[in-house]
Amino acid sequence: MLHAALIGFPSTGKSTLFQLMTSAKDAPRGKGDTAIGISKVPDERLSKLTAIFNPKKTVPATIEFTDMIAPGRSGAAALVDVAGYKNADALVHVVRAFRDPSVPHPAGSVDPARDAQAMEDELILADLGVVERRLERMEKDLKKNKSAELEKERELLLKCKAALENGQPLRALGLAGEDLRRLRGFQLLSAKPLLVVINLDEADAEAAASVERAADVTGMKAFLSREGTRAVPLCAKIELEIAALEPADADAFLEDMGLGESGLDRVIRASYDLLGYMSFLTVGEDECRAWSIRRGSSALEAAGEIHSDIQRGFIRAEVVAYDAFMARGSMAACRDAGELRLEGKDYVVQDGDIINFRHAT
């Protein structure tokens, strides 16, 4: 399952958002406590297909979120030894941009850009400690064994160390391929993709309709322009109100605010996209389901997400684009129109493809 971890300083609204987004009933209450919850990835396509097929079961794609109360402002350093954070595929940093005298800011003033940078600095510092310790051990290892692989790892870690010492997060290096593989075991925090959730003041709630407007209101434009960083603005106070409404009333409320969907749905969807994932769909009377795969995955890899037996016995994939299916209304009509294609194992699956796998039993 995809896994994102929420981070943030005290009094940001982080744990409130965690509870609203996930199935978790309890948020962390004490320092060092962690909680894990599951979020369904909003997908209007799956809802429409369910209405057509009326299946016994509908299964959306999901993301696992972890929340933790880290001790004091040494939060990032504390996360290094917490499995839920080390193993996270991405970090979601909730940044406070709301003003509320009854909830004093620990630093004495509300400054989203300052807090975003402060957390970034902590992530960088935590990673620098990990890299330096590994380099120290490698010097000893290289005296005993000057292997080519160890030399490549050392060269990469020296590059990372230089970036970290210059205050640059590792996600900004644009590492790929073998370099990413070599770093994976270290679970470096600043190398993970970062989603910044800007928790706006109610007076600035209209800015939630646009990342650009929210960035201007909060002074975060420069920070959000960095590589591997995305943002979703919302107002947690308003999200609480929306969550208490009936669906029809919630939709009307969002429309009045100029929003197509709730901030919570936008956070979940942005987390999914940030992780480099998309969904293909399977449909039928028994089940309609959204399956998570990395962008660029082949039909053979997609088959393996369903079951290893389907992957091993793969023959062909029957594929129709979601838009084509909705325009025709049925698989039979798509087949008659030549829009239901037979694809081989190397076919690159597209977001929203409806697929039926032919396989040997």
Taking only the tens place, the pLDDT of each residue in 97-117 is 999 999 999 888 999 999 999
Instruction: Express each pLDDT in 171-227 by its tens digit.
Output: 999 888 899 889 988 889 999 999 999 999 999 988 988 999 999 999 999 999 988
φ, ψ at 290 (rounded to 5°): -100, 125
Averaged pLDDT for residues 39-60:
95
- pLDDT band at 1, cuts 50/70/90? confident
pLDDT at 70 over 60: no
In this prediction, residue 69 carries a pLDDT of 63
pLDDT greater at residue 86 or residue 328 = 328
What is the C-alpha to C-alpha distance for residues 81 and 102, in angstroms, rounded to an integer?
A: 33
What is the C-alpha to C-alpha distance for residues 134 and 163, in angstroms, rounded to an integer?
A: 16
pLDDT at 37 over 70: yes
The number of residues making up the chain comes to: 361
What is the C-alpha to C-alpha distance for residues 245 and 268, in angstroms, rounded to an integer?
A: 20
- pLDDT band at 257, cuts 50/70/90? confident
The domains found in the chain, sorted by start residue, are 2-43+52-108+191-274 (3.40.50.300), 120-189 (1.10.150.300), 296-359 (3.10.20.30)
> Model's pTM, two decimal places?
0.86
Decide if 23 contacts 135 (C-beta within 8 A): no
